[in-house]
């Protein structure tokens, strides 16, 4: 790969990653309630992280960096949803969300009917 193409690849990957992280920050401020903000806090940056680690792996193409990049993305992909799930569940159980923003709330309905399996 010539240096020029490498620079372009790096620029595209790092800038799109930065844009995703910026969007996550802006979404955190602009989205209306806890549940919506969780989306902004946990999600766009997974793409950002993939882009940055991909750039690192492409620029230092050794077995060590590639495997470490895979491990980083895999762990982030496994742990971010768990954190989001815990916060979302607590927010829902303690009514810290705005029902008027929801088209339906089938979890609240299931809880009220008492037909949950646990």
Partner 1 sequence: MSARAERRAALLNQLPLWLGLVLLWMLLWGSFSWLNLVTGALLASLVSIVFYLPAVQLSGRLDPARTVVFLLRLLGDIVRASVQVAWLALKPLRTTAGPQSAIIAVPLRTRSDLILTWTAVATSIVPGSIVIDTDRVSSTLYLHVLGVRTHAQIDLFRASVLATERRIVGAFGSREDLERLALGDAVAAVAAATGAVAADARAASTRDDDSDRRNLDDTGKET
Minimum gap (Å) between residue 1 Cβ and partner 1:
22
Q: Which two tokens stand for residue 36?
A: 């919506």
78 binds partner 1 (CB under 8 A): yes
CB 27 to partner 1: min, Å? 3
Task: Pick one of 9, 46, 56, 58: the residue that binds partner 1 (CB under 8 A).
Answer: 46
Distance CA 111, CA 83 (A): 22
The first and second tokens of residue 19, run together, are: 């844009």
- Is the separation of the CB atoms in 40 and 23 below 8 Å? yes
Question: Running DSSP on this structure, what letter comes out for residue 101?
Answer: G
CB atoms within 10 A of CB 17: 21
Structure-block tokens of residue 18: 């930065």
8 Å CB contact between 48 and 17: yes
CB of 3 to partner 1, least distance (A): 25
Name which position in 9, 31, 56, 59 contacts partner 1 (CB under 8 A).
Answer: 31
* By the rule CB under 8 A, 114 interacts with partner 1: no
Q: Which residues bind partner 1 (CB under 8 A)?
A: 19-20, 22-24, 26-27, 30-32, 35-36, 38-40, 42-44, 46-48, 50, 63-65, 67-68, 70-71, 77-78, 80-81, 84-85, 88-89, 92, 99-110, 115-118
């Amino acid at each position: 790969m010539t240096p020029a193409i490498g620079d372009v690849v790096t620029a595209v990957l790092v800038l799109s990653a930065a844009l995703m992280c910026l969007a996550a920050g802006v979404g955190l401020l602009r989205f209306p309630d806890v549940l919506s903000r969780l989306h902004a806090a946990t999600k766009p940056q997974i793409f950002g992280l993939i882009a940055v680690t991909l750039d690192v792996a492409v620029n230092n193409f050794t077995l060590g960096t590639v495997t470490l990049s895979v491990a980083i993305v895999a762990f982030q992909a496994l742990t971010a949803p768990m954190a989001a799930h815990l916060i979302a569940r607590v927010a829902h159980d303690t009514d810290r969300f705005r029902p008027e923003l929801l088209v339906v709330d089938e979890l609240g309905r299931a809880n009220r009917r008492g037909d949950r399996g646990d």
